Amino acid sequence: MLTEKYFIFNQNTVTINEGNFQWSAPSNIALVKYWGKKANQIPANPSISFTLNQCKTITKLAFSQKENKADFSFDLLFEGKPKEDFKPKIQKFFERIEVYCPYLKNYHFTIDTQNTFPHSSGIASSASGMAALAVNIMSLEKELNPNMSDNFFNEKASFLARLGSGSACRSINGNIVVWGNHKAIEGSSDLIGVEFPFKVHSNFNNYQDTILLVDKGEKQVSSTVGHDLMHNHPYAEQRFSQAHQNLSAIKTVLENGNLEQFIQIVESEALTLHAMMMTSMPYFILMKPNTLEIINRIWKFRNDTKIPVCFTLDAGANVHILYPENVSVETLQFIKDELVGYCQNGQYICDEIGFGSQLIIDN
Ligand code: 2P0
């Protein structure tokens, strides 16, 4: 079994003075949701997600050796401009990962980051953002330890990303990723995301995710606070055991291609996530009236046409519409005819299942 110790860097033979890398890392959408965690970013239950293809963070990391090695030192640019508000999150991330990456204080970093999706679209950028930073740091570590295997690179990138933001560990590698120990998924771990290790039915090839931007405003309750409210939550234990069952069930469905069951599990998971928010203390609601309008329209469309389209939700009001590639034409027409009116400024993003982070510049 993987342990935290495995990820502690302990080579000091190579000296690297400066360099820069650029990576992209995608967002991901959970099918079975992570909601609730223990100390050190350990999830209360296992989760599984589709990796996205279009919604990405692109991050460049430039580094140079510095004299004073007492503190972390970095500049942060967002879309080319200094962005002070993001710095505390990065500072905290460096503090959390320092024990695994003791070389960080040797360098000054310039982190230059941008997203492919619209700014403040309500699409979580913490998953793609932390994943993109983690793979860049691993590129530096690989320079310091040139014999590192690709497997270790990916595992430690996921491990580091998790310490930045839990769901980020599912954005490193693979198109369907499991995070959290589960008895039916060999190799699954609370410490890292692993690629779903079974053959996936062709129904899920190029599975589509059209993201309807319902509300782009700042969320009233952050995910970190929401996770925390699962402590002492009256339904927590039941929910965590349900997630284990749903992961077993969706494993079977991903293998046999049964879309009816897929829809049932995925929609139930989305509504359960929001039910946990509504039944915590304090309680809160992140859905908006238009979220419910869209859900009802999807149910009616599915009932009328028998087209296997379903929805899922993240921790927000936006709706992810999931459907197989072979019903794209009808579904996009339905979205344009009936759902765009519920989106803020008519905005939506067409995405699909993708393959994880990618190296863009390596020097
Ligand atoms: C998920 N979400 O599985 C769930 C479903 C949102 C809804 O993981 O505190 O940003 O950084 O570990 O990963 C969002 O929470 O929380 C999330 P932290 P994170 O995708």
- Choose among 290, 352, 283: nearest CA to 318: 290
Give distance in angstroms: CA of 116 to centre of ligand 1: 20
State the Cα torsion 301-306-307-311 to the nearest 10°. 60
Nearest 5°: the CA angle 260, 262, 268 is 105
Give distance in angstroms: CA of 301 to centre of ligand 1: 30
pLDDT of residue 54: 96
pTM of structure: 0.97
Write down the mean pLDDT value for the chain.
96
- Choose among 15, 126, 111: nearest CA to 72: 111
State the Cα–Cα distance between residues 140 and 362, nearest whole angstrom.
10
pLDDT of residue 216: 77
Average pLDDT for 26-34: 97
Q: Which atom of ligand 1 is nearest to the CA of 28?
A: 20
* Residue 308 preceded by cis peptide, ω within 30: no
Nearest 5°: the CA angle 323, 327, 328 is 80
Instruction: Assign 363 a pLDDT band (cuts: 50, 70, 90).
Output: confident
Where is average pLDDT lowest: 11-25, 165-179, 250-264, 317-331?
11-25
pLDDT of residue 120: 66
Instruction: Assign 217 a pLDDT band (cuts: 50, 70, 90).
Output: confident
Instruction: Assign 57 a pLDDT band (cuts: 50, 70, 90).
Output: very high
- Choose among 304, 313, 318: nearest CA to 348: 318
Average pLDDT for 140-149: 96
Give distance in angstroms: CA of 167 to centre of ligand 1: 5
Share of the chain above pLDDT 70, in %: 99
> pLDDT tens for residues 318-345?
999 999 999 999 999 999 999 999 999 9
> pLDDT tens for residues 97-140?
999 999 999 999 999 999 998 766 667 689 999 999 999 999 99
pLDDT of residue 56: 97
Q: Answer yes or no: are the C-beta atoms of 49 and 177 closer than 8 Å.
A: yes
Instruction: Assign 11 a pLDDT band (cuts: 50, 70, 90).
Output: confident
Share of the chain above pLDDT 90, in %: 92
Q: Which helix (H) or strand (E) holds 53?
A: strand 47-65
Nearest CA to ligand 1 atom 8: 167
pLDDT of residue 12: 77
CB 227 less than 6 A from any atom of ligand 1: yes
Give distance in angstroms: CA of 64 to centre of ligand 1: 33
Instruction: Assign 13 a pLDDT band (cuts: 50, 70, 90).
Output: confident
Q: Answer yes or no: are the C-beta atoms of 255 and 198 closer than 8 Å.
A: yes
Test site for ligand 1: of 34, 158, 274, 291, most ligand atoms within 8 A of the Cβ: 34
Q: Which atom of ligand 1 is nearest to the CA of 223?
A: 15
- Choose among 313, 190, 203: nearest CA to 240: 190
